[in-house]
């Protein structure tokens, strides 16, 4: 367990590889003063200075009195490092996993789209898949309540199908099943 007074911030380091060995590295600049993991961006701007970061974060005020990130990431943030503006989204007793950004359209401005995130609902023993619109980040567009508990998710990216080469499914197609000359999910009566 980390020390109770442990502190973690999201920082930016400036390292000049043209400087000679032994050169001091400047102190980092704090981007956002909360503990977090797995920051995501609009990947079209991967090598540029970005003005939208999507972060799963630890919010002590929403942690039931617990003060350490060890107890779980309980919020989602959309942060603009250029303006310092942070918008927050969280629910009741969430454990927020890695966010994924999805473009609204191929030519949309940076950060305009949706964020999809898996949220563990500890008290309900289930997970939710939550969709947030970056234009109204504080309230979900959709919550899909999964009727089961999932282990921690993998961390991934959204790739638009139109930019992929020819796509082939790794899952074999299952033919339609007929029961009493009806589809398997249709009522029998």
Q: How many structural domains are present in the chain?
A: 1
On whether residue 169 sits in a domain, the answer given is no
On whether residue 7 sits in a domain, the answer given is no
On whether residue 121 sits in a domain, the answer given is yes
Structure tokens at 40: 């995501």
| 115 beta partners | 101, 132
Structure confidence by residue, pLDDT tens digits, 95-114: 888 899 999 998 999 999 99
Query: CA end-to-end span of the chain, whole Å?
Result: 58
Burial letters 61-74, b for 16+ CB under 10 A, else e = ebbeeeebbeebbb
Q: Say whether 79 counts as a known binding-site residue.
A: no
On whether residue 183 sits in a domain, the answer given is no
Percent of the chain with pLDDT over 90: 36
On whether residue 79 sits in a domain, the answer given is yes
On whether residue 181 sits in a domain, the answer given is no
Structure confidence by residue, pLDDT tens digits, 59-94: 877 666 666 565 678 889 999 989 999 999 877 678
Mean pLDDT is lowest, of 9-23, 120-134, 158-172, for 158-172
DSSP string, 6-66: ----EEE----TTSPTTPPPPPPEEEESS-EEEEE--GGGTTS--S-EEEEE--GGGTTT-
Task: Give the residue numbers spanning the domain of 128.
Answer: 35-152
On whether residue 131 sits in a domain, the answer given is yes
Contacts of 106 (CB under 8 A, 6+ apart): 160, 162
On whether residue 127 sits in a domain, the answer given is yes
């Amino acid at each position: 367990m980390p020390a109770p007074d442990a502190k973690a911030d999201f920082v930016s380091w400036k390292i000049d590889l043209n400087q000679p060995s032994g050169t001091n590295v400047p102190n980092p600049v704090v981007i956002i003063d909360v503990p977090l993991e797995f920051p995501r961006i609009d990947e079209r701007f991967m090598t540029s200075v970005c003005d939208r970061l999507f972060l799963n974060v630890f919010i002590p005020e929403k942690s039931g009195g617990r003060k350490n990130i060890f107890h779980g990431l309980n919020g989602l943030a959309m942060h603009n490092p250029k303006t310092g503006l942070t918008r927050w989204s969280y629910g009741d007793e969430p454990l927020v996993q890695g966010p994924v950004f999805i473009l609204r359209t191929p030519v949309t401005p940076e950060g305009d789209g949706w964020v999809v995130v898996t949220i563990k609902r500890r008290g309900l023993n289930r997970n939710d898949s939550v969709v947030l619109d970056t234009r109204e980040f504080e309230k979900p567009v959709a919550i899909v309540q999964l009727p089961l508990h999932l282990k921690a998710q993998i961390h991934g990216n959204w790739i638009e199908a139109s930019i992929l080469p020819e796509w082939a499914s790794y899952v074999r197609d299952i033919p339609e099943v007929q029961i009493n000359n009806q589809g398997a999910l249709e009522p029998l009566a």
